[in-house]
Structure 1
């Protein structure tokens, strides 16, 4: 589902609308629409940690480590974006959020009129798959997450001063860090087959290409700059040109699975996102079934009408033959009369009528494998029906099948099943009114 995106970072809340408008909103203010919120949790700590112990205890291990190291003051909530398991432990890419900020963010999302997905910056860096390295340029900072053959690596480079020269120095510093991951005797491009550059709030896409070139030159890796969409501020508070951002398209690809909302809220978001497509699909399916049913019923009615008309014509021919029969009639007239009589007896076994009656009577879990029309030596017709019942109470399902056939004028007689599979059955069916 396409929605608006809220970017919260460095204390600012900005709404990137589907209409291409850029708006500043108060922190934790009311929103009247469904949004995806990409947030740094008020500059929460993001990092990579290699640990010893069972991976299922990774959150507790990381929480204790960041508290002991002083990266987060007091209790925190740990969000793991990617976890690689190793023998005796693992390595995790995570965000550690103070409990106060964590609770305040979730409470804000829960109190909104519409569903709001909360997506951490770390989830955006880890991505839904695809590239093994991603650089996010947000404000004066360059954040990079890389998942290489030597393990995961996270870099956070701050461009002091915020000018173009400072940003280029930061890009070269980041490129140097990436180049340091190059294994001895290997090509860096093999370690980083694809680095994706995301600009969150740039005012110059050309400058983003220049900064990416700095990383390419120093790291010797392939860097692709994602297309950034322009967002204009109708009030002009962000300058005449507004900003360009590649975030909305990438945030939508994350999906509800990367959100930190409780599972009930994520399911509600997913349900709302698929409500209209599901309704449209069900409506189309219902319409198709209605048309198909009407068409099938029309064909069946036409077949029955033709069978009845043929029955009437045969009856007329029989009457004419009886009236025209003479004592000295030859043998050909007798054979014609027998053929017509046999044909009249078979009218009740018209394929359309037979298949309709058997199909309507055989409800799941019964499966009809074969329906055959047979004729005995006396010229009388009957049906042989072979099928299988996979229900737990086979006798009840078969009784219901025979009862439904009896209501349609069929008399049943059990036969030796054609198959030895469990639940197999065979019956001889005759028309009561025809056999009388």
Structure 2
């Protein structure tokens, strides 16, 4: 829900005003509402100030209520609203509002009886909302100026009513109010101070107060947005709807559950929009993924068809028999390949490198198998007694040189005799070693 659609009620000593959209309308006190509302208490009966206490801040409300009753600042018992609590050396400072207990009970009872969420706020809560350290805010409500500031030294608050009908009354009130804390405003600077119109039906008061504040600060403060409402033909300048909308979640006087429910109600529309957008994004992503999947499937089918065609061609080529006229040439090529692979000089060099001093090669013979006419070398040798590891080393060396070894029955029966058949492992010709 936006600021313009909020139902905001201002409760002052002059009565109740309902602000909605661009209109401000007087309504009877304690109306029966059928819509959610923000009700701002801007009453002279509410005492607001900044006090400092020694001791623990856990007892702040009780200490404030006791002092307010003792000094006669409120009639009877009071409900203490803590706007800001700041721990300082040796104690704490509290920015608070003391609401007469009878008024407080009637407000809370009325809010509970309404048909929709109804949050209660105070003008002092809106005054301090969003003001951080080394910052300040000044608000004009009718003919009353009030300010709140926070620095590293602590909290500051002040208010003053412009009295009399003189044109300079508002300017005099502003200068008197801010002049008490000239050092504070000089330290903060104009850029750290906000000025807003909480409620005013007199534009000349706004201009006079703003000029006086500018004179004290030495420059123009940051001016808060003020809407212009129509109140039965009269013009009302107010930042109340915007400040109430922004500060309701933090400064409402209602229990936590009611504040959460009010906030959740305003999240429904944004969450619905976000959910709808997320759904559209997911649908679009699903359509895109489906389209890509179909494309990949079509591409896969095309590649599969190409592979099947290639395999058919390979099978067709493999099935072709060698022409009879080429058989002699094929046989010659095979013999040449065998000759290169089984070059005796190359083999003897490999054999010499692999044979150690603890073994002796007795015979090397190039053999040809009768069935497939495959050539092999047969090596017969003799290892020294107890040097079986020498044969293993020799086998490893010959294997590394590119030969496949097969153990045969030794020719002799002497201890350490061995015989192996060696077949060239690779088809590629090997170059001779120097």
Q: TM-score range by the shorter chain?
A: 0.5 to 0.7
Shift of 1:46: 0.6
Whole-angstrom CA distance in 2 between matches of 1:279 and 1:246: 29
Whole-angstrom CA distance in 2 between matches of 1:176 and 1:162: 22
Show the counterpart of 1:288: 281
Q: How does 1:12-411 map to 2 (within 5 A)?
A: 12-18=15-21, 20-40=22-42, 43-129=45-131, 132-161=135-164, 163-179=166-182, 182=183, 188-193=185-190, 194-217=192-215, 223-233=221-231, 236=232, 240-324=233-317, 325-328=319-322
Residues 211 and 42 (structure 1 numbering): CA distance in 2 closer, same or farther, change over 3 Å? closer
Q: Assess if the C-alpha contact under 8 Å between 1:63 and 1:96 holds in 2.
A: yes
Q: Assess if the C-alpha contact under 8 Å between 1:178 and 1:219 holds in 2.
A: no
Shift of 1:150: 4.1
Partner of 2:199, secondary structure, is coil
Whole-angstrom CA distance in 2 between matches of 1:214 and 1:275: 44
> CA-to-partner distance for each residue in 1:50-98, whole Å, 9 max, x for gaps?
0111123222222222222222233322111111111221101001112
Shift of 1:163: 5.0
Whole-angstrom CA distance in 2 between matches of 1:266 and 1:25: 25
> CA-to-partner distance for each residue in 1:164-190, whole Å, 9 max, x for gaps?
3433332232133232xx27xxxx522
Whole-angstrom CA distance in 2 between matches of 1:160 and 1:210: 14
Partner of 1:232, secondary structure, is strand
Shift of 1:121: 0.9
Residues 134 and 326 (structure 1 numbering): CA distance in 2 closer, same or farther, change over 3 Å? same
Partner of 1:252, secondary structure, is helix
Q: Assess if the C-alpha contact under 8 Å between 1:175 and 1:215 holds in 2.
A: yes
Q: Assess if the C-alpha contact under 8 Å between 2:228 and 2:238 holds in 1.
A: yes
Q: Assess if the C-alpha contact under 8 Å between 1:199 and 1:228 holds in 2.
A: yes
Shift of 1:101: 1.7
Unpaired runs of 5+ residues, structure 2, are: 327-434
Whole-angstrom CA distance in 2 between matches of 1:290 and 1:228: 43
Higher gyration radius (CA): 2
The question of 1:7 aligning with 2:10 is answered yes
Residues 24 and 160 (structure 1 numbering): CA distance in 2 closer, same or farther, change over 3 Å? same
Shift of 1:212: 2.4
Q: Assess if the C-alpha contact under 8 Å between 2:65 and 2:98 holds in 1.
A: yes
Residues 108 and 242 (structure 1 numbering): CA distance in 2 closer, same or farther, change over 3 Å? same
Report the TM-score, using the length of structure 1 for normalisation. Answer: 0.66
Partner of 1:70, secondary structure, is coil
Residues 226 and 323 (structure 1 numbering): CA distance in 2 closer, same or farther, change over 3 Å? closer
Residues 17 and 248 (structure 1 numbering): CA distance in 2 closer, same or farther, change over 3 Å? same
Residues 62 and 315 (structure 1 numbering): CA distance in 2 closer, same or farther, change over 3 Å? same
Shift of 1:219: 6.3
Residues 162 and 198 (structure 1 numbering): CA distance in 2 closer, same or farther, change over 3 Å? farther
Partner of 1:7, secondary structure, is strand
Aligned residues: 318
Whole-angstrom CA distance in 2 between matches of 1:261 and 1:102: 11
Shift of 1:34: 2.7
Residues 255 and 328 (structure 1 numbering): CA distance in 2 closer, same or farther, change over 3 Å? farther
Report the TM-score, using the length of structure 2 for normalisation. Answer: 0.66
